[in-house]
C-alpha cells in the first residue's frame, strides 16, 4: 500500500508565534539579528559558494577551460577514474592492476599514458604510483564518489526536504553520513520514528540537540534522559523557548537545575543542562549523542516531517552532527535557565 506522507506529519509542526496562533497567520521570517552576529541561514549563494572564477566564460580564462577539459578527460573514462582510485591505495605493477581492474594490459597502459600526460602518475621500475597531484586529485574523486553515494543512498529523504539550514561546510562533507539509514513511519506504525528516537536518547549519556519544533514527545524523552544522568545541550529559537516555558517545560528544566545545584556532588549526580537561544528560526532537527546521530528535516511546504529521519551510529556520522551543532552554537547565546524561565532560585 502506498504510504501517504502528508498523513504522517504529526501535530502539523509549523513554526508559529503565540500571537500568530490566535489569527492562524504563519510566522514571518526574522530578517534581523538582535545580537549583531553575522549569522546566515545557509543558502548556496555567491557569498557561500564562490565558483564564479571557475565557471567564467571569459576568452582569456585559459586555466578555467583547462580545468573543465581535465575533469571531462578523467571522469568520462571509467578506467582512468578507477586507475586513480586503485593506485591511491599504493604502488602496483601491471599484473596487480590487471587483477584489480579486470582489464587487459593494453587498455590499462593506454589509461596510464593518458594520466601521465596530466602529470598524475609516475613509474618507478615496474611499479606505477600517483604523483603528488594525482594523490590529491584521487582523494577528492573518492570524496566525490562517497558524496554521491551518500546522497543516492537516501535520495528519498533528501528529495522532498529543505536543506538550506544545513551549514555549507557540512554539506560538503555529506559523505561522512554515507552509512546513515532512514527510518520511516508507516500507516501501521505512525510513531515509529518517535519511538526509535526515544530509544536512542535513553541510551546516550551526552546529547546535543538542535530543536526547531515544540514537541512534548521529544522533550519528555530528553528530560527523562537528563534525570537519568545524561548531559544535555539544547539550542532553540526564542519562539520555541517561549513554547517550552508556557507549556510547563521551562519549570521542569529549572527544577532539574535547582535540584542539581542543591545536590551538587550528592548521589553522584553531576550531569549538566545547558540551553542556548538562537535569534533566528531554523528548519533542522538534529540530535547528536555519544552513540547516535539523528537528522530530521522540514518538507518543502514548511512543515516538519516527522514521518522519516536519518540515523547514523558511526563515529564519522556522529562527528558530522557535532560539527553542525557547534556551528549553530557559535551564533547562539547561552541562557541562564532559572532567570530565562522566570523561576525563583530559593537555594
Check whether 26 has a pLDDT greater than 50: no
Q: What pTM was computed for the model? A: 0.76
Q: What percent of the chain has pLDDT over 90?
A: 68
Task: State the DSSP code for 55.
Answer: S
- Please give the average per-residue pLDDT across 154-173, as a whole number: 93
- Please give the average per-residue pLDDT across 88-101, as a whole number: 95
Residues forming CATH 1.10.10.10 domain(s) in the chain: 62-141
- Residue 343 to residue 335: CA distance in whole angstroms: 13
Q: What is the distance in angstroms between the CA of the first residue and the CA of the last residue of the chain?
A: 58
- Residue 11 to residue 267: CA distance in whole angstroms: 39
- Residue 288 to residue 286: CA distance in whole angstroms: 7
- For residue 265, what pLDDT band results from cuts at 50, 70 and 90? low
Residue-wise pLDDT for 34-74, tens only, equals: 333 444 444 434 344 344 444 445 444 656 677 777 777 78
- Please give the average per-residue pLDDT across 74-83, as a whole number: 89
Q: List residues bridging with 75 in a β-sheet.
A: none
Q: Which is more confident, 277 or 269? A: 277
- Please give the average per-residue pLDDT across 142-148, as a whole number: 91
Check whether 259 has a pLDDT greater than 50: yes
Q: Which three cell numbers stand for residue 293?
A: 546521530
Q: Which is more confident, 266 or 19? A: 266
Is the CA virtual torsion 160, 165, 171, 173 positive or negative? negative
Q: List residues bridging with 296 in a β-sheet.
A: 285
Residue-wise pLDDT for 180-236, tens only, equals: 999 999 889 989 999 999 999 999 999 999 999 999 999 999 999 999 999 999 999
Per-residue confidence (pLDDT) for residue 261, from 0 to 100 = 79
CATH classification for the domain delimited by 62-141, as one of 3.60.20.10, 1.10.260.40, 1.10.10.10, 3.40.1010.10: 1.10.10.10
Per-residue confidence (pLDDT) for residue 24, from 0 to 100 = 34
- For residue 90, what pLDDT band results from cuts at 50, 70 and 90? very high
Task: Write the CATH number of the domain with boundaries 164-340.
Answer: 3.30.870.10
Contact 333, 340 (CB under 8 A): no
Say how many C-beta atoms besides its own lie within 10 A of residue 320's C-beta.
Answer: 23
Q: State how far Cα 160 lies from the chain centre.
A: 16
- Please give the average per-residue pLDDT across 291-298, as a whole number: 97
Check whether 289 has a pLDDT greater than 90: yes
Residue-wise pLDDT for 320-334, tens only, equals: 999 999 999 999 999
Average pLDDT in the chain? 82
Q: CB-based contacts of 122: which residues, under 8 Å, 6+ apart?
A: 116, 128, 129, 130, 131, 134
Which candidate, 254, 243, 235, places its Cα nearest to that of 339?
Answer: 254
- Residue 176 to residue 206: CA distance in whole angstroms: 20
- Residue 44 to residue 49: CA distance in whole angstroms: 6
- Please give the average per-residue pLDDT across 112-127, as a whole number: 93
Per-residue confidence (pLDDT) for residue 75, from 0 to 100 = 80
b/e map 213-230, b = 16+ CB within 10 Å? bbbeebbebbbebbeeeb
Half-sphere exposure of 201 (CA within 13 A, CB side): 27
Residues forming CATH 3.30.870.10 domain(s) in the chain: 164-340
Q: Which three cell numbers stand for residue 234?
A: 539544547
Q: Which three cell numbers stand for residue 237?
A: 529559537
Amino acid at each position: 500500500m502506498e504510504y501517504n506522507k502528508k498523513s504522517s506529519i504529526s501535530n502539523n509542526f509549523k513554526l508559529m508565534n503565540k500571537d500568530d496562533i490566535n489569527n492562524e497567520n504563519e510566522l514571518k521570517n526574522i530578517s534581523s539579528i538582535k545580537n549583531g552576529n553575522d549569522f546566515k541561514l545557509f543558502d548556496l549563494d555567491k557569498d557561500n559558494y564562490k565558483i564564479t572564477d571557475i565557471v567564467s566564460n571569459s576568452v582569456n580564462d585559459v586555466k578555467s577551460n583547462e580545468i573543465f577539459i581535465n575533469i571531462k578527460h578523467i571522469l568520462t573514462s571509467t578506467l582512468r577514474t578507477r586507475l586513480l582510485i586503485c593506485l591511491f591505495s599504493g604502488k602496483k605493477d601491471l599484473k596487480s592492476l590487471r587483477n584489480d581492474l579486470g582489464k587487459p594490459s593494453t587498455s590499462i597502459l593506454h589509461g596510464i599514458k593518458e594520466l601521465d600526460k596530466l602529470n598524475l602518475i609516475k613509474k618507478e621500475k615496474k611499479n606505477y604510483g600517483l604523483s603528488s597531484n594525482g594523490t590529491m586529485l584521487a582523494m577528492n574523486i573518492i570524496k566525490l564518489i562517497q558524496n554521491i553515494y551518500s546522497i543516492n543512498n537516501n535520495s528519498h529523504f533528501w528529495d522532498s526536504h529543505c536543506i538550506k539550514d544545513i551549514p555549507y561546510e557540512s554539506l560538503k562533507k555529506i559523505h561522512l553520513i554515507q552509512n546513515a539509514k532512514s527510518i520511516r513511519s508507516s500507516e501501521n506504525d505512525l510513531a515509529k520514528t518517535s519511538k526509535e528516537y526515544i530509544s536512542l536518547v535513553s541510551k546516550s549519556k551526552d546529547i546535543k540537540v538542535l530543536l526547531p519544533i515544540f514537541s512534548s514527545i521529544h522533550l519528555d524523552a530528553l528530560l527523562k534522559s537528563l534525570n537519568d544522568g545524561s548531559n544535555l545541550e539544547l539550542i532553540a529559537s526564542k519562539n520555541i523557548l517561549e513554547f517550552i516555558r508556557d507549556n510547563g517545560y521551562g519549570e521542569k528544566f529549572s527544577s532539574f537545575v535547582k535540584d542539581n545545584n542543591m545536590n551538587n556532588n550528592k548521589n553522584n549526580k553531576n550531569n549538566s543542562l545547558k540551553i542556548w537561544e538562537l535569534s533566528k528560526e531554523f528548519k533542522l532537527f538534529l540530535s547528536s549523542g555519544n552513540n547516535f546521530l539523528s537528522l530530521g528535516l522540514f518538507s518543502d511546504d514548511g512543515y516538519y516531517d516527522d514521518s522519516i529521519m536519518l540515523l547514523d551510529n558511526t563515529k564519522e556520522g556522529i562527528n558530522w552532527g557535532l560539527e553542525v551543532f557547534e556551528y549553530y552554537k557559535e551564533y547562539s547565546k547561552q541562557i541562564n535557565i532559572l532567570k530565562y524561565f522566570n523561576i525563583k532560585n530559593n537555594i
